[in-house]
Amino acid sequence: MKIVKVSGEVSIKRSVDSGSEDQRQAVKKILADVRRSGDEALKAYTEKFDHVRMETFLVEPEEIREAYNLVDESMVQIIADAAENIRAYHEKQLRPSWLTTEENGTILGQKVTPLDSVGVYVPGGTAAYPSSVLMNVVPAKVAGVKRIVMVSPPGADGKLPAGVLVAADLAGVKEIYKVGGAQAIGALAYGTESIAPVDKITGPGNIFVALAKREVFGDVDIDMIAGPSEIAVLADDTANADEVAADLLSQAEHDTRASSVLVTPSAALAEGVQREVAVQLAVLPRQEIASRSIEDFGAIYLAADMEEAVETVNQLAPEHLEIMTENAMELLGKIRHAGAIFIGRYSSEPVGDYFAGPNHVLPTNGTARFSSPLGVEDFQKKSSIIAYSEEALRENGAKIAKFARLEGLEAHARAVEARLKKN
Amino acid sequence: MKIVKVSGEVSIKRSVDSGSEDQRQAVKKILADVRRSGDEALKAYTEKFDHVRMETFLVEPEEIREAYNLVDESMVQIIADAAENIRAYHEKQLRPSWLTTEENGTILGQKVTPLDSVGVYVPGGTAAYPSSVLMNVVPAKVAGVKRIVMVSPPGADGKLPAGVLVAADLAGVKEIYKVGGAQAIGALAYGTESIAPVDKITGPGNIFVALAKREVFGDVDIDMIAGPSEIAVLADDTANADEVAADLLSQAEHDTRASSVLVTPSAALAEGVQREVAVQLAVLPRQEIASRSIEDFGAIYLAADMEEAVETVNQLAPEHLEIMTENAMELLGKIRHAGAIFIGRYSSEPVGDYFAGPNHVLPTNGTARFSSPLGVEDFQKKSSIIAYSEEALRENGAKIAKFARLEGLEAHARAVEARLKKN
């Protein structure tokens, strides 16, 4: 892991796969086929890509029961505990509809309404993460979404991983379909004979899923399209090099394109972490992935002082930020851009990935400059409320009509005056 | 205006211009030129499209002073009053950062941070609306955005409309550039010698502006891309046909592709509105636009009863909804999908377009199913906060490690255990 002195602007080396033209065309064709042929297209593409012939897609209750038998009891309890923590945290995000009243009778406000229906994509294979199920479904549930649909590609045995099914059941999903890829996104967006369409699609997926989500966006809403995972650790002399290194590697093991960065004003820590990363890498099961990630996208930034270090973090706008410094809490106000902020040495990133309660779906690729973690608000929408009284319109109607005429919109002015002329 | 009996699913006839391949290519070229040549490209494209040679783009203080002289004093006061109402309403949307604490020392929360910088696009020519300046700038200001930049294409005289400049000044914009089109979007997204880049771009524009926003999305954030304006009026026998007709026409005069719809269980009102629309159309300055809009995208839906009428409105998910019925307030809970809801006969839509306070930037094209009016939250983002104590990690660390191993992520488990092994 290279140590680099900070000078001027710094940016994480990032690698976002935005897909090839061939992939885009393939996705367009799949979506068009699903729109045209519905379930038949889903069956054909499932056979082609997942190597299994499905006659129906819905997960039956006995498959859920079977899944519980396949996951050990203490693990079921851990998933349930995590779901409960995620629920408790997201309930704090709930905001009510509100109204203001004025003496002249005016009422203004905002009505908060859950989305009618949401589809959650869950990747298959080795990327089948029960934690991802919880992080996408629980906020939708807390938001009050009535219909939550989950889709995930079946294995060669025509089944879904037991952990995923248990997490879905604990999170309260009642409608799960064994279909994945761009074809599943097409089914969620446009509907087929067996899958009714939804209003929003969330959840991670491979490049075909990402391209399909981008393609259907507008017809339905989508969540952000996630890039490779990132961590920045902001640390000083008080941090332990082995712990910092372990956290950097926990990010690096995700993906060869994941980015792990340390920012520190301490040369001693920089060298210590450099050493520890090498030591720990040597004995890591996913060593191959993690070492490529560290080599290609990892860095240790040595700053002149803590102020420069903080400014560097803001330039990076990392998905995850850990602060391991003396008085870490005091730095919180200086951090402008980060998806999630982990404070102190006991807040290792996996605490947030799995268990503490905040969402692990976070803005990547520098988008923490303008984006937020997935949350309850992503599953609700607002409507403005305007109720003017006769008194209020008599007070302000002439001003409104004049403003409309300034903009050349005579019918606007007349609509207001239609009320004022009377009585 | 045709009267149609509701039967089964109803959807507004909508016409969204998503641009041609030629337009897309033209926009890509403009953006690439701006990235490469900066101000020189801005000058060249301004000369080409706006027919004026600009040596500098920044609006100088004397141009603002001149604008105040060109707008009559009472109009300046009306714009100021509107700005104040918009400010007061949007301040109600402000939500603080929050924290929760647990006895074991855990702190969880959410930090709310304004965006660093925002660019507001204001269209030129006949679509130069001071109200649009207020509706985009004031929420950003209330959110706490430090740098708000406005761009708008200059007229042939190299100037911006006085009303737009006055609105910008009253809303508190300090940085205004006379440049428009896709080239202005390129400047905001990527920066040039004279215009520093921003983090988010909002505001309406023609098809080239819309395509450019779509293109830069990801590098910067954008607001929704608005389709033609829409109104649905939900009314019963208690409504006045002339007022309903006036409101439908105030929408129709915007654009030949605007959509104006009445939904009612009253055959008498349906016929009355049909008559009134014809009468009022005949004497409307923008008659040509409004009559094409009414003919192509207008409709009167006759429902069997109020329940069916409400369900029809929810299927339409209109941008604007007016409710003119007995006990209009009681229907509020049944409305699931609408950008803004205007209640009672005195809440004619222009009240909200200009003056009451809620935002007039609203979801169009059925996206009220999943989108919200522009608001303060669009100019802020959130960061999760996670601070685990040693006690909390000792309590939960083993569970977290086990969850990580279920997902095959050994380095995650080890990062947690690195802390637990010690002491």
- Residue B79 and residue B180 in one domain: yes
* Residue-level length of chain A: 423
DSSP states along A33-51: HHHHHTHHHHHHHHHHHH-
Minimum distance, in Å, between the CA of residue B51 and any CA atom of chain A: 23
The reply to whether residue B413 touches residue A350, judged by beta carbons under 8 angstroms, is yes
Is B51 assigned to a binding site?
A: no
Q: Which two tokens stand for residue A309?
A: 């270090």
Q: Are A241 and A273 contacting, i.e. CB atoms less than 8 angstroms apart?
A: yes
- Residue B176 and residue B232 in one domain: no
Residue B320 falls in the annotated catalytic set: yes
- Residue B54 and residue B124 in one domain: yes
Q: DSSP H helical segments within A130-206, as ranges? A: 130-143, 162-171, 181-190
- Residue A279 and residue A231 in one domain: yes
Minimum distance, in Å, between the CA of residue B130 and any CA atom of chain A: 8
Average pLDDT over residues A385-411: 95
pLDDT range class, residue A127, cuts 50, 70, 90? low
- Residue B274 and residue B191 in one domain: no
Chain B residues touching residue A79 (CB < 8 angstroms) = 403
Element containing residue B235 per DSSP (H, E): strand B230-235
Instruction: For the beta carbon of residue B84, count every other beta carbon within 10 angstroms.
Output: 14
The total of structural domains in chain A comes to: 3
| Sign (positive or negative) of CA dihedral B364, B366, B371, B372 | positive
Minimum distance, in Å, between the CA of residue A357 and any CA atom of chain B: 8
Minimum distance, in Å, between the CA of residue B47 and any CA atom of chain A: 26
- Residue where a domain terminates, one of B180, B197, B222: B222
- Residue where a domain terminates, one of B203, B222, B241: B222
- Residue A191 and residue A307 in one domain: no
The reply to whether residue A399 touches residue B81, judged by beta carbons under 8 angstroms, is yes
Q: What's residue B104's pLDDT?
A: 95
Q: What's residue B8's pLDDT?
A: 74
B-chain residue closest to A280, CA distance: B411
Q: Which two tokens stand for residue A195?
A: 């899958």
The reply to whether residue B253 touches residue A411, judged by beta carbons under 8 angstroms, is yes
A-chain residue closest to B118, CA distance: A370
Whether A371 is covered by a domain: the verdict is no
- Residue B89 and residue B162 in one domain: yes
Question: B120-151 burial, b if ≥16 CB within 10 A, otherwise e?
Answer: bbbbbeeebbbbbbbbbbbbbbbbebeebbbb
- Is B9 exposed, middle or buried, given 0-12, 13-18 or 19+ CB atoms closer than 10 A? exposed
Instruction: For the beta carbon of residue B73, count every other beta carbon within 10 angstroms.
Output: 8
The reply to whether residue A409 touches residue B354, judged by beta carbons under 8 angstroms, is no
B-chain residue closest to A360, CA distance: B384
Q: Which two tokens stand for residue B118?
A: 């925002």
- Residue where a domain terminates, one of B189, B222, B255: B222
Chain A residues touching residue B341 (CB < 8 angstroms) = 111, 383-386
Residue numbers of A annotated as active site? 319-320
Q: Which two tokens stand for residue B309?
A: 């009428």
Select from B111, B129, B419 the Cβ nearest to the Cβ of A348. B419
The reply to whether residue A350 touches residue B400, judged by beta carbons under 8 angstroms, is yes
* Residue-level length of chain B: 423
Whether B374 is covered by a domain: the verdict is no
- Residue B192 and residue B327 in one domain: no
Minimum distance, in Å, between the CA of residue B227 and any CA atom of chain A: 11
Chain A residues touching residue B388 (CB < 8 angstroms) = 344, 346-348, 351, 356
Average pLDDT over residues A104-125: 96
Select from B348, B369, B403 the Cβ nearest to the Cβ of A355. B403
Whether B383 is covered by a domain: the verdict is no
Select from A341, A350, A414 the Cβ nearest to the Cβ of B412. A350
Q: Are A182 and A30 contacting, i.e. CB atoms less than 8 angstroms apart?
A: yes
Whether B270 is covered by a domain: the verdict is yes
Q: What's residue B159's pLDDT?
A: 94
Give CA–CA dist A261/A232, Å, rounded. Answer: 5
Give CA–CA dist A21/B363, Å, rounded. Answer: 31
Chain B residues touching residue A409 (CB < 8 angstroms) = 250, 253-254, 286, 350
- Residue B59 and residue B205 in one domain: yes
Chain A residues touching residue B111 (CB < 8 angstroms) = 332, 335, 341
DSSP E strands in A8-137: the ranges are 98-101, 107-114, 117-121
pLDDT tens for each residue of A4-53: 999 877 766 777 778 889 999 999 999 999 999 999 999 999 999 999 99
Backbone angles phi, psi at B176, to 5 degrees: -125, 130
Is B337 assigned to a binding site?
A: no
Minimum distance, in Å, between the CA of residue B111 and any CA atom of chain A: 9
Catalytic residue among B90, B320, B337, B360: B320
Select from B78, B347, B390 the Cβ nearest to the Cβ of A386. B347
- Is B96 exposed, middle or buried, given 0-12, 13-18 or 19+ CB atoms closer than 10 A? exposed
Between strands B380-387 and B107-114, the pairing is: antiparallel
Q: DSSP H helical segments within A317-409, as ranges? A: 349-354, 390-406
A-chain residue closest to B242, CA distance: A418
- Residue A400 and residue A299 in one domain: no
Chain B residues touching residue A418 (CB < 8 angstroms) = 240, 242-243, 246, 348
Is B383 assigned to a binding site?
A: no
Give CA–CA dist A175/A173, Å, rounded. Answer: 6
- Residue B236 and residue B316 in one domain: yes
Whether A185 is covered by a domain: the verdict is yes
Give CA–CA dist A263/A313, Å, rounded. Answer: 7
Domain that holds residue A402: 389-420
pLDDT per residue as tens, chain B (423 positions): 999 999 877 766 777 778 889 999 999 999 999 999 999 999 999 999 999 999 999 999 999 999 999 999 999 999 999 999 999 999 999 999 999 999 999 999 999 999 999 999 999 876 679 999 999 999 999 999 999 999 999 999 999 999 999 999 999 999 999 999 999 999 999 999 999 999 999 999 999 999 999 999 988 999 988 889 999 999 999 999 999 999 999 999 998 999 999 999 999 999 999 999 999 999 999 999 999 999 999 999 999 999 999 999 999 999 999 999 999 999 999 999 999 999 999 999 999 999 999 999 999 999 999 999 999 999 999 999 999 999 999 999 999 999 999 999 999 999 999 999 876
Sheet containing strand B107-114, strands side by side: A3-5, A299-302, A259-264, A230-235, A320-324, A340-343, B380-387, B107-114, B98-101
Q: What's residue A271's pLDDT?
A: 97
Whether B412 is covered by a domain: the verdict is yes
Q: What is the dihedral of CA A379, A132, A127, A202, to 10 degrees?
A: 0
Chain B residues touching residue A332 (CB < 8 angstroms) = 111, 385
A-chain residue closest to B415, CA distance: A246
The reply to whether residue B336 touches residue A375, judged by beta carbons under 8 angstroms, is no
- CATH for A318: 3.40.50.1980
pLDDT tens for each residue of A289-333: 999 999 999 999 999 999 999 999 999 999 999 999 999 999 999
Q: What is the 3-state secondary structure (H, E, C) of A146-159?
A: CEEEEECCCCCCCC
Give CA–CA dist B338/B232, Å, rounded. Answer: 9
Of the candidates B135, B211, B208, the one whose C-alpha atom is nearest the C-alpha of residue B167 is B135
Cα B155 to the chain's mean position, in Å?
25
Whether A318 is covered by a domain: the verdict is yes
Whether A377 is covered by a domain: the verdict is no
- Residue B235 and residue B216 in one domain: no
Select from B81, B347, B415 the Cβ nearest to the Cβ of A348. B415
Q: What's residue B127's pLDDT?
A: 65
Select from A250, A355, A408 the Cβ nearest to the Cβ of B415. A250
Question: A24-35 burial, b if ≥16 CB within 10 A, otherwise e?
Answer: bebbeebbebbe
B-chain residue closest to A401, CA distance: B350
Backbone φ/ψ region at B38: left (φ over 0), alpha (ψ -120 to 50), beta: left
Residues making up the binding site of A: 121, 183, 206, 229, 251, 254, 320, 353, 407, 412
Query: B116: number of CA atoms within 13 Å, CB side?
Result: 16
Instruction: For the beta carbon of residue B327, count every other beta carbon within 10 angstroms.
Output: 9
Q: DSSP H helical segments within B199-348, as ranges? A: 207-216, 241-252, 267-281, 287-297, 306-316, 328-331
pLDDT range class, residue A191, cuts 50, 70, 90? very high
- Strand partners for A232: A261, A321
